[in-house]
Amino acid sequence: MNSTKNAKMMDKYGDLSGLGIFIEKKTFDSYSWPLHWHNCWELEIVLSGSGKQILNGTEYDICPGTVYVLNPTDFHEISFENVTVYNISFPDEMLPADFTQYFSGIGGGLIKTLDGEQFKNFRQICDILYYESTNPQKHGEKSCKLLLELIMIHLLRIFDVKQPSKNDSKKALIGSAVSYVNIHFRENPTLSDTAAYLGITPNYLSEEFHAATGKKYKEYLNEVRLMYAKRLLSSSSLSITEICFASGFSSLSNFLRVFKAHFGVSPQALKNSL
């Protein structure tokens, strides 16, 4: 695969059913998709076949049992042969806090290959979710939401996520703020936007965010956008202007200024050195 293709955003919200979930079972003799990202979360598990995936610039082999979780900031391209997969899409609001905090980190989606009972059990849950979503019946919406929650619990186990302490409310609060910024940085969320999402005042968020991270809110937001821009520079052929706006900056001149201040070189110079 060539990982220097133009990256495109795939709008998957149109696929989401009234259940807020979209699941499909895909079978292909040969299948490839160029570099892209999604505007919602995506989970895929390979039931059969093989192939390769380049996820955030890193190449992985794909085989039966491979499962990966992509958040809206991850970009990837895939190439499959004789493959059958389950593909599940869902929005932020379907996710519990511990899931978003673990799977929203800037630096990459998560991928792992399951085997034995772990693969069997995970596939069975996906089988039931697929049946429930494609055969509407009484209490179907509740059933699908519970099954998706069960899938998330298994993913937290698969990726060995530690259960958060119930006693550290401030840490959980800032974790939610960081997760929100990590996922929504392209929308340029202000301190007030994030505070409103958390149901707290901007001043309180500003103080606690700085105390917990050692960084001011705007400083952290810029760092997230800049690291994402750097990943796009190394993994796509998007122009500097396209990368600027894909990373959430509204002004090219501001992007060039803060990029050079952070990395010591211009985006073009960094791209030329890669």
The confidence score (pLDDT) of residue 4 equals 37
Predicted local confidence at residue 8, as pLDDT: 62
Give the separation between CA 184 and CA 228, rounded to whole angstroms: 12
So what's the pLDDT on residue 15?
58
Parallel, antiparallel, or unpaired: how do β-strands 41-55 and 110-113 relate?
unpaired
Residue-by-residue DSSP string for 166-204: TT-HHHHHHHHHHHHHHHHGGG---HHHHHHHHTS-HHH
CA distance 121 to 77: 27
Instruction: Write out the chain's pLDDT in tens, 274 residues.
Output: 433 344 566 655 555 556 678 899 999 899 888 888 888 899 999 999 999 998 888 899 999 999 999 988 888 889 999 999 999 998 888 887 778 888 886 555 689 999 999 999 999 999 999 999 988 889 988 899 899 999 999 999 998 887 666 667 788 889 889 999 998 998 999 999 999 999 999 999 999 999 999 999 999 999 999 999 998 898 888 899 999 998 999 999 999 999 999 999 999 999 888 7
Q: Check if the beta carbon of residue 161 is closer than 8 Å to that of residue 100.
A: no
Look at residue 164 and tell me if it is in a domain.
no
Is 2 domain-assigned? no
Contact residues for 238 (Cβ-Cβ < 8 A; gap 6+): 6, 7, 232, 246
The CATH number that applies at residue 265 is 1.10.10.60
pLDDT of residue 73: 86
- Which pLDDT belongs to residue 106? 53
What is the predicted pLDDT for the residue at 193? 96
Same domain, 38 and 98: yes
pLDDT at 11: 56
Whether 181 and 190 have beta carbons less than 8 Å apart is answered as no
What domain range includes position 122?
Answer: 8-158
Query: Tell me, what's the pLDDT at 12?
Result: 57
- Same domain for 105 and 46, yes or no, is yes
**How many angstroms separate the Cα of 15 from the Cα of each of 21, 89, 128?**
8, 8, 19
Task: Identify residue 158 by its one-letter amino acid code.
Answer: I
CATH code assigned at 13? 2.60.120.280
Q: Which of 158, 191, 225 is the last residue of a domain?
A: 158
Write down the pLDDT at residue 17: 56
Q: What pLDDT was estimated at residue 52?
A: 94
The answer to whether residues 190 and 251 belong to one domain is yes
Residue where a domain terminates, one of 158, 180, 197: 158
Q: How many domains does the chain have?
A: 2
Q: What is the pLDDT of residue 225?
A: 94
In a domain, 163, yes or no: no
**The pLDDT value given to residue 101:** 81
Q: How many helices (H) and strands (E) does the chain have?
A: 10, 7
According to the model, what pLDDT value does residue 1 have?
A: 42
Nearest to 89 by CA among 199, 147, 15: 15
Tell whether 45 and 145 lie within a shared domain.
yes
